[in-house]
Structure 1
Amino acid sequence: DAWRWSPDGSRIAYWRFDQSAVRTFYMIDDLGHYAELIPLRYPKAGTENSTVEIRVVDIGSGATKTITSVDGDSYLPRMDWMDTDALLVQRLNRHQNRLEVLRADTRTGSVEPLFVETDSAWVDVDDDLIWFDSGRRFLWSSERDGWNHLYVYGRDGRVQRQLTKGEWDVASVLGVDERGGFVYFTAAQPTPMELHLFRVPLRGGRIEQLTKEPGTHYITMSPGFTYYVDTWSRAGTPPTTRLFSTDGRLSRTLAENSTVAERIGQLGLQPPEFFQFETTDGVTLNGWMIKPANFDPSRRYAALLYVYGGPGSQTVTDAWGGSRYLWHQLLAERGIIVVSVDNRGTGARGRDFKKVTYLNLGDYETRDQAEAARWLASQPYIDPSRIGIWGWSYGGYMTALAMMNSDRFAAGVSVAPVTDWRLYDTIYTERFMRTPQENPEGYDNSPVHKADRLTGELLLIHGTGDDNVHFQNAVQLVDALQAAGKQFDLMIYPNRTHSISGGSTTVHLFTMITDWLVEKLVDADRPAS
């Protein structure tokens, strides 16, 4: 989707990328008689990016004009038509802490700035810019007051009013209903664990919450803003999809998932219990816990922390968790209490909570996961010697690093981890870390550089066909662990991508992880025969 039709259908605006300066990364397919190299242009942190242009082609004549361009030290993340003659372009510097919103005249090629959004850490790029009032005003979201809120701007780039305020974050803008005079949006309110639909008058005023049931509501608005589709779920409740009118009346139920709900009920599972605790440095963290159906408070159970923990993410939400939730329930029935805690750096708790990790990914996050293990160890029903941790992707990175930054974990499963941020791409990594040349100490806070500090038993898992977090990450961690004399377990999935799926792979993967965790955390408590 790298092009945009003009409103009158006479022209197309499109991005043109030149990757010639980007180095080639080679993946390897080893399943044939001869290994095959798979070339992939991939800009790793601190290396050259693509150059980018925005061009406009006239459908009738075929004439093409370059509107604006940037070298590899900037990005053009968003572009759309303002009217038949003008484009709205967002230009982001390479540090991603300065976002310019530009008006580009497609007839003359002139470009003028409308306004600039800056942040001492980074600026999140989203799709919340919406024009209204015949192009005289637009909606914009910003964290300028410490929380993500909505603002009305004039065409001159000046703020006219702030529409939403408070210690909570707007999650997404669903649209501007000019006829009704409302902006519809979702927000993490009344708690960071929930997501609800709200509307606020365009002229400012009282915010109205439209969804009532506690939990998570994923919303799709009708084109005329008279109806919305609400897919609602809770942590122990499968999704139900219903159609409502915006005056709050239920029109019809579209999908109930009644069969799934009935089967879940027959299993007699314990729904997750939400909790909070305070770290030793005074930070309150949110979490959930899954206990076995036959939980006995007089017993001492093993515990497993499920972690992702990346910037702006959340695992602690009152929402249906799908197959992974059911697998966590299986682990609970095998004697492992499963817990997840949203560390500092995660989302829906304001700018400062999210951006405290800037230039130092993995530090506050692993400290908070170690604090979660400390809190668990203080519970009378948890065995402090049998606390594990597992995660995938950023969570795999967190798992390995937590086991190197803390001695609280007896075992950990690290799936598809980044093991050195120098190996990951420019646009994600540099947003939070700048470049390795500017921030070498921050980049060194990675598992490859701390392998000699590994404590507990580690299971490392990776797919060789991972084109997101390359298998190279696993290879370099294996090399570092071996050099440090550390024993560990390793499972490789040939040609499997970042999802490690396809064929019988998923069943093999989760059967293997289950057996490994039971051996390390449950069987470890049983006397030898």
Structure 2
Amino acid sequence: MKIKSFIGLVGLCALTGLFSPTESMAQKQFTLEDLNFGGTNFYNMRPETRYLTWWGGKLVRQDLNSCSLVDPVNGKETQLFSLDELNNWAGLTKPEEVVRHLYAAEFPYADRPVVIVQNGNEDLYIDFKAHKLEQRLSRPSGLQAREWNKQSGATAFVTDNQLYVTDAKGEKHQLTTDGSSDIVYGKSVHRDEFGIDGGLYWSPKGNRLAFYRMDQSMVADYPLISVPELDWTPKKGESRAAKAAPTKYPMAGETSHKVTVGVYDLTTGKTIYLQAGDPTDRYFTNIAWSPDEKAIYMFEVNRDQNDCRLVSYDAATGAKLKELYRETDAKYVEPCHPIQFLPWNDKEFILQSQKDGYNHLYLFNTDGRQLKQITSGKWVIMDVLGFNSKQKSIVYVSNECNPIQRNAWLVNVASGKRTLLDNGRGYHHPRLSKDGNAVMDSYSEPSVPRKYEVITLNGKPKRHEYFTSANPWKDYKVPEYTNGTIKAADGKTDLYWRMVKPVDFDPSKKYPTVIYVYGGPHAHNVEASWNWGSRGWETYMAQKGYLLFILDNRGSEHRGKEFEQVSFRRLGQEEMKDQMEGVKYLKSLPYVDQNRIGVHGWSFGGFMTTSLITNYPDVFKVGVAGGPVIDWKWYEVMYGERYMDTPQTNPEGYAQTSLLTKAKELKGKLQIITGLNDPVVVPQHSYSFLKACIAAGTQPDFFVYPGEPHNMRGHQSVHLHERITQYFEDYLKPITSAKEER
């Protein structure tokens, strides 16, 4: 097995060493209140954040009590207005109506000095040059979805399951009357797969609204329950008992919902539906408008998810206009991005596809003809930020510099010439200005907590330093964070890992080791951000004397189609093989206690944890599996069938990946944790595994969080991570008591 240290292809070679130096003189100790996102001191222990937004081409800093213009070259700030001034200009004096902070202030109009702020119940539009309130829009109680259009001033929203539109004059129009828990309007459909994160889509000028209508009356109810809070007092005649809180949950191979797309015209007041045909066993996603508002484009995917078509429709009649593009794949096609029209040519658009093996940009015209492939290479486009019209270029984010980096680039559409915009190192989260002439870049590197730069794009791109966050951990004793690669089980593919060594690490000692794992699609753990992307809990465990190891196996994201699709129809199998290559590496290290290896993960990571401890019972002594998938036949249709096909067409795969038959193999200590109201990995998974263990005579431990969904919210997350930690403390630490000998 080949082991090699990580060396960046472009920028990371500039780093000195592979880790952040341990500050040996620091003596402070971390608590979970410091390191966990639900902790009381968590936000004080994060690198300082600057809240920034764009006002057209001008950069604005949003702060608690003021908003200021930022000079992009020298970083000098000039106050636009204060919070007190804003409340005074708007005539807000009552405690329940005043604006309390400006972190979320928005500047929708590039050519007008208008700011949008919220007071909890209203959106307030204030002219900060004329010092007056222009408009106040109330937010209805029980708001379920909302989308405002700055061009027409109209707002679409859903409340009490019905869809409404309020026009610029404030007149409310009710578009639906049959909305219910069965008939869902204007919200995400297909369980948020295919890049969907909403259900309301305004046309460019705000004259028309496209929206989803989902009929899920035919989908089985899943019987979740709602547990009353401790301080809840029932109303007169109301029972104290827990109540049924069913959710619609289409399981793999079972009946799924049906989605249609409606279009409301503000000028005529009429609603039509796209004539896409029978919606049974089809997915409609990535809705986009033509610049002239006359056509709607969307991707249509069959239930097998191996046939994807881009289709255009007449927005006035709903009639089908043209099929512009079709992509098929032996395994699956997964469109996650709408097409984007070029600002300088309303007859051409860019389309993202993995059809050459990696997600790249392609140029098409409205006749459906591919004009060219704009980007190519063994790297992926991670995000398209927008366009620079002056240079007729696209600004995007990719991992071309290195598979675990995220960097900003500009590509000329005509020539295909690419220009790196940032420093070529680290993990960047850039935001393009509305005019496309500047980028606000927030980023970190393994030894840099957080930095902000402004990149100007007029002529040759130039980087201007704005703000560097101090290291909030400088007074604490921190572990050593390292990074490298090993070969996958296929013997050829590089896999990236992160290691967190115990505080006061002594290479002559042997340490209990915990592997943290996720391993599933659309996620990664290892990246070239601060401390190599390490989670706070890892630092907490290192402080307690553990070595932490995290490996991104094949099947995880941003490494190309072949890398991602290796798990098709056999989820977890190749992933386990790769994780065991990580175990081989760990066993080659003299300071790893081979007899005390544990594993922990959540969701897909919970599935991996349970898979590893039952498939390799002589390797893993302790495991903590959170929200674990136990049998994929109980997971939802869209995700489950994409990677596993249906139980009817892939019975061997479902049987091989099911952990119910593995319950008898459990030897080590395994704790399963779930939220009682988990609507993602429903509790049936955990309960069924417990029942299988009872039948097999094995003894897992179990803990449930009443009323909680898939992830624990707020301060309960601190409780959760203390519980996880204590389990390893009880059963993985070196033997010091009779309890641990048992």
TM range (shorter): over 0.9
Tell me which of 395, 405, 418 is aligned to 2:615: 405
Bigger shift: residues 277-286 or 451-460: 277-286
Cα distance 1:7–1:195, how it changes in 2: closer, same or farther (>3 A)? closer
Residue equivalent to 2:360: 149
Tell me which of 517, 521, 525 is aligned to 1:315: 525
Residue equivalent to 1:121: 331
- What are the superposed Cα offsets for residues 373-399 of structure 1, whole Å, 9 maximum, x if unpaired? 122112111111111111011111110
2:257 matches 1:77: no
Residue equivalent to 1:249: 462
Cα distance 1:13–1:279, how it changes in 2: closer, same or farther (>3 A)? closer
Partner secondary structure for residue 120 of structure 1: coil
Bigger shift: residues 390-399 or 508-517: 508-517
- What are the superposed Cα offsets for residues 451-479 of structure 1, whole Å, 9 maximum, x if unpaired? 12223211111110212211221111111
* One-letter amino acid matched to 2:699: Q
Residue equivalent to 2:550: 340
- What are the superposed Cα offsets for residues 108-137 of structure 1, whole Å, 9 maximum, x if unpaired? 432120111222222222225211143211
- After superposition, residues 283-302 of structure 1 pair within 5 angstroms as 283=492, 284-302=494-512
Distance in 1 between residues matched to 2:268 and 2:417, nearest whole Å: 51
- After superposition, residues 54-453 of structure 1 pair within 5 angstroms as 54-69=261-276, 70-82=278-290, 83-111=292-320, 112-127=322-337, 129-132=339-342, 133-235=344-446, 237-246=448-457, 247-251=460-464, 253=466, 256-258=468-470, 261=471, 263-279=472-488, 281-283=490-492, 284-320=494-530, 325-407=535-617, 408-444=619-655, 445-453=657-665
Partner secondary structure for residue 365 of structure 1: helix
Distance in 2 between residues matched to 1:435 and 1:369, nearest whole Å: 26
2:239 matches 1:28: no
Query: Deviation of residue 72 (structure 1)?
Result: 2.9
Q: Which runs of 5+ in 2 are unaligned?
A: 1-197, 230-239
Query: Deviation of residue 174 (structure 1)?
Result: 1.3
Partner secondary structure for residue 345 of structure 2: coil
2:251 matches 1:39: no
* One-letter amino acid matched to 1:203: A
Query: Deviation of residue 322 (structure 1)?
Result: 11
* One-letter amino acid matched to 1:39: P
* One-letter amino acid matched to 1:293: V
* TM-score, normalisation: structure 1: 0.94
Distance in 1 between residues matched to 2:489 and 2:205, nearest whole Å: 61
Q: Considering Cα pairs closer than 8 Å and 6+ residues apart, tell me whether 1 or 2 has the greater RCO.
A: 2
Distance in 1 between residues matched to 2:445 and 2:543, nearest whole Å: 21
2:245 matches 1:48: no
* One-letter amino acid matched to 1:341: L
Contact 1:161 1:204 (8 Å CA) reproduced: no
Query: Deviation of residue 321 (structure 1)?
Result: 7.2
2:193 matches 1:14: no
Partner secondary structure for residue 481 of structure 1: helix
Query: Deviation of residue 271 (structure 1)?
Result: 4.3
Partner secondary structure for residue 728 of structure 2: helix
* One-letter amino acid matched to 2:249: Y
* One-letter amino acid matched to 1:21: M
2:670 matches 1:458: yes
Contact 2:335 2:353 (8 Å CA) reproduced: no
Partner secondary structure for residue 264 of structure 1: coil
- What are the superposed Cα offsets for residues 464-513 of structure 1, whole Å, 9 maximum, x if unpaired? 021221122111111111111111211111111111123x4122211111
Distance in 2 between residues matched to 1:449 and 1:113, nearest whole Å: 46
Contact 1:128 1:172 (8 Å CA) reproduced: no
Distance in 2 between residues matched to 1:495 and 1:26, nearest whole Å: 13
* One-letter amino acid matched to 1:6: S
Contact 1:55 1:68 (8 Å CA) reproduced: no
Partner secondary structure for residue 267 of structure 1: coil
Partner secondary structure for residue 718 of structure 2: helix
Partner secondary structure for residue 354 of structure 1: helix
Residue equivalent to 2:732: 521
Query: Deviation of residue 10 (structure 1)?
Result: 3.0
How many matched pairs? 524
Q: Which has the larger radius of gyration?
A: 2
Query: Deviation of residue 213 (structure 1)?
Result: 4.9
Distance in 2 between residues matched to 1:58 and 1:205, nearest whole Å: 39
Bigger shift: residues 245-254 or 450-459: 245-254
Cα distance 1:108–1:34, how it changes in 2: closer, same or farther (>3 A)? closer
* One-letter amino acid matched to 1:10: N
- What are the superposed Cα offsets for residues 51-90 of structure 1, whole Å, 9 maximum, x if unpaired? 1111222223322212134423101112121132211121
Query: Deviation of residue 526 (structure 1)?
Result: 7.4
Contact 1:91 1:101 (8 Å CA) reproduced: yes
Residue equivalent to 2:706: 494
Cα distance 1:524–1:187, how it changes in 2: closer, same or farther (>3 A)? farther
Query: Deviation of residue 94 (structure 1)?
Result: 0.9
Bigger shift: residues 508-517 or 61-70: 61-70
Cα distance 1:217–1:450, how it changes in 2: closer, same or farther (>3 A)? same
- What are the superposed Cα offsets for residues 410-439 of structure 1, whole Å, 9 maximum, x if unpaired? 111101111111111111111111111111
Query: Deviation of residue 199 (structure 1)?
Result: 1.1
Cα distance 1:136–1:297, how it changes in 2: closer, same or farther (>3 A)? same
* One-letter amino acid matched to 1:52: V
Distance in 1 between residues matched to 2:601 and 2:576, nearest whole Å: 12
Distance in 1 between residues matched to 2:227 and 2:551, nearest whole Å: 39
Residue equivalent to 2:201: 4
Contact 1:216 1:233 (8 Å CA) reproduced: yes
Partner secondary structure for residue 309 of structure 2: strand
